[in-house]
């Protein structure tokens, strides 16, 4: 039995695994939980992040509009399943006005650290880079400096300082649909200046674990366990019909999280259902958040489906640990 180091979350959204289910991650029966047209002008609502907040949940959602502009919107929920999302995108204050200028914003993550919720996202600044902001109440959002120069995507924070440093995973990229991608960890004393960059892991070349042979990127904020940081990530295969996005997981060293202790050879989830295989971008499952309950080891995963709608899936810390150890890469 592995133990999640964290808070209890007795009201975590949950469904039991059904008898006969072969996979370590199973879907919510009523998926997708957020349809593409929830907002007046939305074309799609997907790759989005949620956290426990007050007596329920709050989140930051990627909503592409019907002009297909990408932006991020705040939302609230009592049960983590039924969501109300603001009709207007988040208006940030703070930072240098140069940094506040919006080009595009997508794929948010939300991470509670110390006393506030940090939001990281892919922020257009003459190319994609990592935007950083914080909020206390999901009403007022203060933007900080971009973490890096372009080009970078998938900025994901660790939920506490490690050895005195905030730690941010990211995936250096290019201006387009990036045919490569490795995960790095960068460190900062103040959430503004990032350095001490460390290589974590990259795609697996060849045929051994082909679902992650083109590129990988960090997904939700990692979950602390007594065995290490449990990271869920996405992996991409190039096919004759384009990219296919699947999910895997890895276990990272608690003190030096760029050191990978274990990693799945087999994916933990892949586009099987219609709403994952068909949409604006077919064959994509893209995880951006989890909720976790330290008492039961339950984990709820929020993921984008086919760049169109939002899905919810379930697993436990023991399921992922066992699966990873049965089918390891190293």
Judged by the rule CB under 6 A, the positions of this chain that interact with ligand BMA are 47, 106-107, 177, 245, 281, 284, 286, 304, 307
Q: How far apart are CA 287 and CA 264, in angstroms?
A: 16
**What burial letters (b/e) apply to 131-170, b meaning 16+ CB within 10 Å?**
bbbbbeebeebebbbbbbebbbbbbbbbbeebeebbbbbb
Give the residue with the Cβ less far from ligand BMA, 211 or 245.
Answer: 245
* Nearest-approach distance from CB 1 to ligand BMA, in angstroms: 34
Give the residue with the Cβ less far from ligand BMA, 178 or 188.
Answer: 178
* Nearest-approach distance from CB 219 to ligand BMA, in angstroms: 11
DSSP reduced 3-state for 97: helix
CB-facing half-sphere around the CA of 8: CA atoms within 13 A: 3
Name the CA radius of gyration of the chain, rounded.
Answer: 18
Give the residue with the Cβ less far from ligand BMA, 140 or 177.
Answer: 177
* Nearest-approach distance from CB 198 to ligand BMA, in angstroms: 23
Name the strands in the sheet holding 128-135, side by side, starting at the edge strand that comes first in the sequence. 92-94, 141-143, 128-135, 116-124, 105-113
* Nearest-approach distance from CB 105 to ligand BMA, in angstroms: 11
* Nearest-approach distance from CB 46 to ligand BMA, in angstroms: 7
Give the residue with the Cβ less far from ligand BMA, 306 or 317.
Answer: 306
Give the residue with the Cβ less far from ligand BMA, 92 or 286.
Answer: 286
* Nearest-approach distance from CB 245 to ligand BMA, in angstroms: 6
Kindly report each contact of residues 128-131 with a partner whose C-beta sits within 8 Å and lies 24 or more positions away, as own/partner.
Answer: 128/152, 128/153, 128/173, 128/175, 130/155, 130/168, 130/170, 131/105, 131/155
Give the residue with the Cβ less far from ligand BMA, 56 or 242.
Answer: 242
Q: Minimal CB distance to ligand BMA: which residue?
A: 281
């Amino acid at each position: 039995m592995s133990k999640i180091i964290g808070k209890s979350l007795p009201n975590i959204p949950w469904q039991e695994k059904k008898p006969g289910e072969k996979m370590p991650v199973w879907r919510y029966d009523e998926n997708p939980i957020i349809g593409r047209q929830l907002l007046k002008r939305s074309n799609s609502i997907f790759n989005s992040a949620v956290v426990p907040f007050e007596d329920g949940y709050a989140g930051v959602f990627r909503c592409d509009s019907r002009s297909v502009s990408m932006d991020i919107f705040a939302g609230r929920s009592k049960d983590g399943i039924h969501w109300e999302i603001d009709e207007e995108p988040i208006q940030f204050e703070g930072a240098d006005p140069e940094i506040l200028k919006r080009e595009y914003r997508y794929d948010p993550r939300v991470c509670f650290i110390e006393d506030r919720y940090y939001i990281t996202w892919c922020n257009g600044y003459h190319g994609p880079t990592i935007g950083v902001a914080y909020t206390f109440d999901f009403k007022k959002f203060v933007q900080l400096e971009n973490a890096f120069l372009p080009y970078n995507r998938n900025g994901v924070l660790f939920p506490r300082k490690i050895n005195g440093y905030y730690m941010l995973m990211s995936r250096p990229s290019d201006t387009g649909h990036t045919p490569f991608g490795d995960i790095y960890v960068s460190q900062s004393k103040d959430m503004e200046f990032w350095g001490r960059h460390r290589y974590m892991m990259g795609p697996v070349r060849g045929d051994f674990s082909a679902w992650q042979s083109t590129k990988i990127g960090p997904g939700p904020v990692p979950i602390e366990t007594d065995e290490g940081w449990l990271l869920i990530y996405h992996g991409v295969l190039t096919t004759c019909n384009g990219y296919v996005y699947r999910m895997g997981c890895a276990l990272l060293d608690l003190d030096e999280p760029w050191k990978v202790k274990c990693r799945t050879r087999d994916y933990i989830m892949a586009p099987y259902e219609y709403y994952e295989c068909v949409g604006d971008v077919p064959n994509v499952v893209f995880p951006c958040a989890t909720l976790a309950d330290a008492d039961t080891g339950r984990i709820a995963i929020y993921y984008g489906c086919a760049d169109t709608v939002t899905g919810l899936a379930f697993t436990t810390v023991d399921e992922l640990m066992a699966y990873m150890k049965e089918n390891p890469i190293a």
